[in-house]
Amino acid sequence: MEFYRSHVLICAGTGCTASGSHPTKEALIKELEKRGLAKEVKVLDTGCFGFCSFGPNMVVYPEGTFYCHVHPEDVAELVEEHFIKGRVLKRLLYQPESAEEKIVDFKEIPFFKYQERIALRNCGLIDPESIEEYIARDGYQALGKVLKEYKPVDVLEEIKKSGLRGRGGGGFPTGMKWEFAHRAPGDVKYIVCNADEGDPGAFMDRSILEGDPHSVLEGMAIAGYAIGAEKGYVYIRAEYPIAVSRLKKAIEQATALGLLGKKIFGSDFNFEIEIRLGAGAFVCGEETALLASIEGRRGEPRPRPPFPAISGLWGKPTVINNVETLANVPTIIRNGWEWFASIGTEKSKGTKVFALAGKINNNGLIEVPMGTKLGDVIFDIGGGIPKGKKFKAAQTGGPSGGCIPVEHLNVPIDYDSLTALGTIMGSGGLIVMDEDTCMVDLAKFFLDFVKDESCGKCTPCRIGTTRMLEILDRITKGQGQEGDVELLIELGQQIKDSALCGLGQTAPNPVLSTIRYFREEYDAHIRDKRCPASVCATMFNSPCQNACPAGVDVPIYIDQIRQGRLEEAYQTIVQANPFPVVCGRVCNHPCEGKCNRAKIDEPLAIRELKRFAADYGIEHSQASAIEPTKEDKIAIIGSGPAGLSAANYLAKMGYKVTVFEALPVAGGMMAVGIPEYRLPKATLEKEIENILKLGVELKLNTTIGKDITMQELLEQGYKAIFVAVGAHKDQDLGIPGADLPGVVPGATFLRQLNLGEKLEVKGKKVAVIGGGNVAIDAARSALRLGASEVFILYRRARQDMPALPEEIHEAEIEGIKIYPQVGPVEILGEGKVSALKCIKMQLGDFDASGRRKATPIPGSEYTMEVDLVIPAIGQTTDLTFMTQLDNLGLTKQGTVVVDQKSLATNVPGIYAGGDCVLGPSTVIEAIAAGKQAAKAIDRYLGGTGELNEPKYERKVNGPIIEHEEPRVKANCLSPEQRLGNFAEVELGYTREAAIAEASRCLRCDVRE
């Protein structure tokens, strides 16, 4: 026997083969021969590791070092470092997105760490083409055990007690199915392995057959002994050439060693296996259609009963199990039913293999205990959603399954729990979707697949799915009608109740589940003719414009910047957004999140370009006064972005508008909630002045409910009132010591700062509690006011902080320390703050937003010295002035109930929008609410509700750059230049830089 100091196992599954594992293996063998190491290092093919998105993968034993993305050009350095110098080649190690260090041992990689492999026990550990290696891992021991020690009924009892259920979809108890066939009369019986696996994105069975084919053959032989069958068939699709090749070789090897064939292990039991290739028809995954295909007939299902266990292949009793089910059997026999039954849940025993696909960092194959929470699979094993996007839903069960939305991330993955949510386990496909997925389009995709795969034998499936698809197609093209959703539900239920086979009975599931959990998306498509996810292209000009709450025509103004037509670019923006200078500095830029440029390199710097055009326009254009053309007066309460935006549009419509503001300055949270270094007050005042020049009257220091009541406004002749008060009221921290001197809530701190009040911060240690923009702004402001040290405490994980990522980054650059998973317990001090008692937090279940809940770790309390505590855990609106109104609706959160389309309250003539409806929201959302309210108020007062919005010719005016072109970075002050002052940090683009960045636009709005 040859001995090697190292064994290199290279993944030879389909995924890694496609990404180049064979050339890598050949290069490694040649390099080892060249270095004289061929007799010291053994290179072997193995099955799928499951870590498919990082292939080609390899593991070096005995260390267990896991290398990923290994290509032929990496081999020389790998041999030099690892096999000659004995050092790990760090650049080829895996590094999680949230970790600072790379991981050496594959067992410590979260993807593998949280798995429990039974069906996949040998995949990635043995050479799948070597029966000797399978036997060395206890292979065929279970078959020998049952033939020597068990009667067939003992095998049945073992499988029944284990709780093993079919892993192919329905979850029928395996032992019960075997027992039916065992008891069925007849001398000829069959075992059939269903390896058809037609679900999009599913590759569980393929990977098992590629990585450990003997486990399936052994499972089939044990099943044959249990029911009295001497013949087995593996029905596998011809599109799996690697699996077919290894399966053939495994059958030959097992037969040669007497582990298949006649008198196995010297017993009277005979069992042989043949392969039948399928042509890829999805319907042949249904067991009766599969049997028809094996028999050489057209793959069409037949009515049941009789079930195949009674009358199956050629009319004989037949057990049909899928690959994963059979791969579990040998291990159950070896370890005993008690072991298997101890894993999983009460009604769903053992583990389940899943193919993670879609919008997830770690695409691949995993195996977890039944009952594992969906969120743990997606975020712990799957590594979360790429590019910081938000999780939206997961599709289980393939085209026959349904969607699980974010609020159900805590659902345990087992048969009953998934059924309760309107989906199924299926064979194990798990497709993850992020915020960019349109659920209506997704339902259409799966229904289109099922319609094409229908055998056409029964009318409900053949005709019903076609009618449903026609309705969905209309909806995604902006032609949906009221009642379409109800019709889809009715049709779907009828198909479920009357279709012949499982394919038809489950075909409507994706549609019904998306309607159940995402009805608002269907309504948006039908009523608003809008696709919120920017997928259904006939419903928007470009993804960036569609993502902008205010509907700013981004491609047009960016093209105008590229051509140097800056005044026109400004006018294009200001038509849709009266605060482009403000938004060019503080907008959360959802438009950039949808930019198609990110698929090539980086998204376009849309916010920076807006700022450039707006800064130019505000200096070179003047607003003109507009004489009111209508007698109706309108009152607006609040001069924040929502209130002033409504005033802007209503004034342009010819109304007399008066804005009432409780503060001594206009601008709301823009003026008193955002520090000078982000939004210079002189800049804000210019935009407010342009709105006031339209003829808008502004009354400062006027508190509604104190200086004047809502009823008095109505009595003074105001025909409509728009309530647009911001979220200025800080939420209570709710811990002992929160009322000590030296505790200043975040919004209050920023308001005092912006109104010029004196704040004693210099030389103090400042603790800011919270993770939103207010917390970040307060922390950075405290540092500029001379604090000796500033740190932020946040109770959840750092990646869950709701503040803008770029603001968090800038805070850290400036020297602010962020401590995640820390919560305040008590503020200590006598007469003033002296210390803060904290406790460490652990992350547990998911909340409805998809973030993990933080709970205290008992006994982890500690105290830190502080002089000033700034709680910034959220803000609310003060709506006490509205409580006198009859029939006004308020939510549990204290926000106003309005009609979502018109923003009308339950009180005629009174509208509300912005923070008082949404809770603390963004500037651009408030601007959109103001525009929406202006249109609705105009309609209420007899107008058309239409704004004079220009129409643009959409054409390409210059070359489109489709190759990689780095995003042009804007200038900003260095951290040293920011200390001790509130000078604006971001300096914006030069003309040349702006034109260069604008030239990166792909002009997605232009249709060829």
pLDDT digits (tens, 9 = 90+) for 591-629: 999 999 999 999 999 999 999 999 999 998 777 778 888
Q: 464 with 495: CB under 8 angstroms?
A: yes
**DSSP code for 926:** H
- The strand pair at 429-434 and 391-396 is best described as antiparallel
- CA-CA distance, 890 to 883, in Å (whole number)? 9
Q: Among candidates 813, 761, 742, 768, which has minimal Cα distance to 986?
A: 813
**Amino acid 538: pLDDT:** 92
- Which residue, 416, 531, 435, is CA-closest to 479? 531
Contact between 73 and 97 under an 8 Å Cβ cutoff? The reply is no
Provide mean pLDDT across the span 198-225.
Answer: 93
pLDDT category of residue 97 using cuts at 50, 70 and 90: confident
> With helix as H, strand as E and coil as C, how does 828-853 read?
ECCCCCCEEEEEEEEEEEECCCCCEE
Query: What pLDDT is recorded for position 99?
Result: 75
Provide the H-helix boundaries in 83-230. Answer: 110-113, 131-136, 141-149, 152-162, 174-183, 204-211, 213-227
Residue reference for tokens 């405290």: 782
3-state DSSP call for residue 680? coil
Residue type present at position 216: V
Burial 144-161 (b: 16+ CB within 10 A, else e): bbbbeebebeebbbbbbb
Residues 364-396 have pLDDT tens digits of 999 999 999 999 999 999 999 998 899 999 999
200 DSSP 8-state letter? T
- For residue 942, the model assigns a pLDDT of 94
pLDDT over 90 at 911, yes or no:
yes
Structure tokens at 830: 């006598």
Shortest CA distance to 631 belongs to which of 942, 948, 944, 949?
Answer: 942
Whether the Cβ atoms of residue 353 and residue 204 lie closer than 8 Å to each other:
yes
Predicted local confidence at residue 513, as pLDDT = 95
431-436-440 Cα angle (round to 5) = 75
**Element at 339 (helix H, strand E):** helix 337-341
370 and 393 in contact (C-beta within 8 Å)?
Answer: no
pLDDT tens-digit profile of 17-60?
A: 999 999 999 999 999 999 999 999 999 999 999 999 898 999 99
Helix or strand holding residue 391 (H, E): strand 391-396
CA–CA separation, 407 vs 375, rounded Å?
Answer: 10
Q: How many CB atoms lie within 10 A of CB 682?
A: 7
Determine the pLDDT at residue 668.
95
Helix (H, G, I), strand (E, B) or coil at 730: strand
pLDDT tier at 882 (50, 70, 90 boundaries)?
Answer: confident
What does the block give as tokens for 39?
A: 């007799």
- Determine the pLDDT at residue 620: 87
Predicted pLDDT of residue 627: 85
1003: left (phi over 0), alpha (psi -120 to 50) or beta: left
Residue range 520-551, pLDDT digits in tens:
999 999 999 999 999 999 999 999 999 999 99
* Nearest alpha-carbon partner for 662 in 629, 639, 694, 693: 639
Percent residues over pLDDT 90 in the chain: 87
Express each pLDDT in 249-283 by its tens digit: 999 999 999 999 999 999 999 999 999 999 888 88
Q: How many CA within 13 A on the CB side of residue 684?
A: 26
Q: Give the C-alpha distances (Å, rounded to integers) separating 35 from 26, 41, 87, 749.
A: 14, 11, 16, 67
DSSP state for residue 271 in the 8-state scheme: B
pLDDT at res. 1007: 83
Q: How far is CA 15 from the centre of its chain?
A: 23
Residues 297-315 pLDDT 10s: 998 999 889 999 999 999 9
At 217, the pLDDT band (50, 70, 90 cuts) reads: very high
690 three-state secondary structure:
helix
pLDDT surpassing 70 at residue 707? yes
Integer distance in angstroms from the first to the last C-alpha of the chain? 67
Name the residue with tokens 């959109």: 928
Q: CB-hemisphere CA count at 13 Å for 675?
A: 27
Contacts 24+ apart (CB under 8 A), 967-975: 967/601, 967/602, 967/603, 967/604, 967/605, 967/997, 967/1000, 968/605, 968/993, 968/994, 968/996, 968/997, 968/1000, 970/605, 970/608, 975/813, 975/814, 975/815
Dist. CA 68–CA 21, nearest whole Å: 11
Sign of CA dihedral 250, 254, 255, 256: positive
Q: Is the pLDDT of residue 1 over 70?
A: no
Helices (H), 758-834: 773-784, 805-813
How far, rounded to the nearest angstrom, does the alpha carbon of residue 303 sit from its chain's CA centroid?
40
Average pLDDT of 502-528?
A: 93
- pLDDT at residue 284, as a whole number: 87
What is the arithmetic mean of pLDDT over 418-429?
A: 89
Residue 3 pLDDT > 90, yes or no? Answer: no
pLDDT tens-digit map of 100-119? 789 999 889 999 999 999 99
Q: Is the dihedral of CA 409, 410, 412, 417 positive or negative?
A: negative
Q: Give the separation between CA 209 and CA 199, rounded to whole angstroms.
A: 17
Task: Provide the percentage of residues in the chain whose pLDDT is more than 70.
Answer: 100
Smallest Cα–Cα separation from 211: which of 44, 72, 41, 370? Answer: 44
DSSP 8-state symbol, 867 = S
Query: Is 222 in contact with 333 (CB distance < 8 Å)?
Result: yes
Length of the chain: 1008
Q: Give the number of other CB atoms < 10 A from CB of residue 90.
A: 11
Phi, psi of 114 (to 5 degrees): -95, 10
CA distance 584 to 986: 10
